[in-house]
Amino acid sequence: MPVELIEHRPKNSRPIQLVTSAGFNGMALSPAARAWAEANGFSGEAGRLLLVPNPEGGIEEALFGVGNGQEGALAAGSLAKSLPEGDWHFAAAPEDASLATLGLVLGGYSFTRYGKKPGKSIRFTLPKGADAGSIGRIAESVFLARDLINTPTNDMGPAALEDAARKLAKAHKARVSVTVGDKLLEANFPMIHAVGRASTEAPRLIDFSWGRKAAPKVTLVGKGVCFDTGGLDIKPASGMLLMKKDMGGAANVLGLASMIMAADIDVRLRVLIPAVENAISGNAFRPGDVLQSRKGLTVEIGNTDAEGRLILADALALADEEAPDLLIDMATLTGAARVALGPDLPPFYTGDDALADEIAKASAEVEDPLWRMPLWKPYEAKLSSKIADINNVTTDGFAGSITAALFLQRFVEKAKSWVHFDIFGWSPSDRPHGPTGGEAQAIRALEKVIAGRYGK
Ligand code: BES
Ligand code: MN
Ligand code: ZN
């Protein structure tokens, strides 16, 4: 259900009591509410909602179980689905009022582009201590990322992804330039061209900049593979089914850019999205081909399904040329990351320990789970090629997420600090703060880091 936030509580708004399992017995509840709770066997179990009736047969209030508090503030999001429509407010502001309210708003998301109805809406009065501006910016950005990922490739190919980036850029008066098709060769992005040329929609590099030119340079690079068939090393049907989401990195960097621009953080932001479809045709790149890269390294193609790192390498090389203060890339890069950590816990890689600590701290604070994995140098040898500077895959397949990160690292030299996120971009099951489908990952934590470093 969509959740609308309002500042002033209407007269008929009903309260929601947050109930911990430990605190239930000592809590100030009306005798009727307590009797009703006991009759229903409710004692504050996490995620359970109990509506308390009034004598007229209406709803007096709601009790919402938060268990022992370990579920986190975002868990309040399940209320967006379970509350009846109308006006609601927290009886007492929760400890993390902003995050609990954000959870609610995020939990109200649904993907409605193809006619599914969003359901009835609830109105929620902002609790004390919650920052409406920040909640609104974050929710809008998360919804943008989810919508882009959920949209299937027939409506979200490289050209549509370009349109989405242009729309966001225009809303914030950012400067946009896009290099399309054979122009990629003239402008020296050979690997973006090679990966994307077999599609009927031309590959492209989307590049937009925003903010004061002398401000600290923050550059975001997002993998924009609008569909990944695997190329000539074609994926089986089961592996291809979800590959509309292979532009999840691009969707997430657009979401993060939206947060940064809407909050007016004083950075010179740059967003780079190589947007392609990894398709199959007579002119597709092949296993065994050797590609030139923007950076000058030659790359032997061990597997055309390891395409994300190729397009990112050219985009990262461009980003690196102006030695940004902070270079962030996000990509649905490897299945191996899911094997290691599962869909909900994206690994990140950086050689900058201070940055890693900031990310880990922000991740915990905003309940945006992330886990650092190592850029394990000795594994770089696995990417060696007999005829080129580097191979795009390893032969043994071990440590797939790490070796993909090490591949990218070869294309970053000058950036003061670089961090790579190997995200899933998808929630395989319903959660309190969002339904099954496209998901924003890492960007709420990153907004916190960037606002902490460069915000007012
Ligand atoms: N887009 C995929 C990775 C992926 C698959 C992410 C499933 C999330 C879910 C990527 O382009 C890919 O195919 N990677 C290969 C690399 C391999 C050929 C070295 C993979 O992970 O199998
Ligand atoms: Mn692939
Ligand atoms: Zn891919």
Secondary structure (DSSP) of 13-72: PEEEEEEETTTTTTS---HHHHHHHHHTT-S--TT-EEEEEPTTSSEEEEEEEEETSTT-
Type of residue numbered 386? K
Residue 313 · residue 190 · CB < 8 Å: no
Tell whether pTM > 0.95.
yes
Q: Which of 48, 309, 410, 448 is catalytic?
A: 309
Pocket test for ligand 1, best of 240, 334, 390 (most atoms within 8 A of CB): 334
Q: Residue 226: CB within 6 Å of ligand 1?
A: no
Q: pLDDT per position in the chain (456 positions), as tens?
A: 799 999 999 999 999 999 999 988 888 889 999 999 999 999 999 999 999 999 999 999 999 999 988 899 999 999 999 999 999 999 999 999 999 999 999 999 999 999 998 877 899 999 999 999 999 999 999 999 999 999 999 999 999 999 999 999 999 999 999 999 999 999 999 999 999 999 999 999 999 999 999 999 999 999 999 999 999 999 999 999 999 999 999 999 999 999 999 999 999 999 999 999 999 999 999 999 999 999 999 999 999 999 999 999 999 999 999 999 999 999 999 999 999 999 999 999 999 999 999 999 999 999 999 999 999 999 999 999 999 999 999 999 999 999 999 999 999 999 999 999 999 999 999 999 999 999 999 999 999 999 999 997
Q: Which residues surround ligand 3, an ion (CB under 5 A)?
A: 225, 228, 246, 308
CB within 8 Å of 73: residues ≥ 6 apart? 94, 95, 96, 99, 100, 103, 367
Q: Which of 9, 34, 166, 235 is catalytic?
A: 235
* Domains by residue range for the chain, with CATH: 3-130 (3.40.220.10), 137-454 (3.40.630.10)
pLDDT of residue 118: 86
Q: Which residues surround ligand 2, an ion (CB under 5 A)?
A: 228, 305, 307
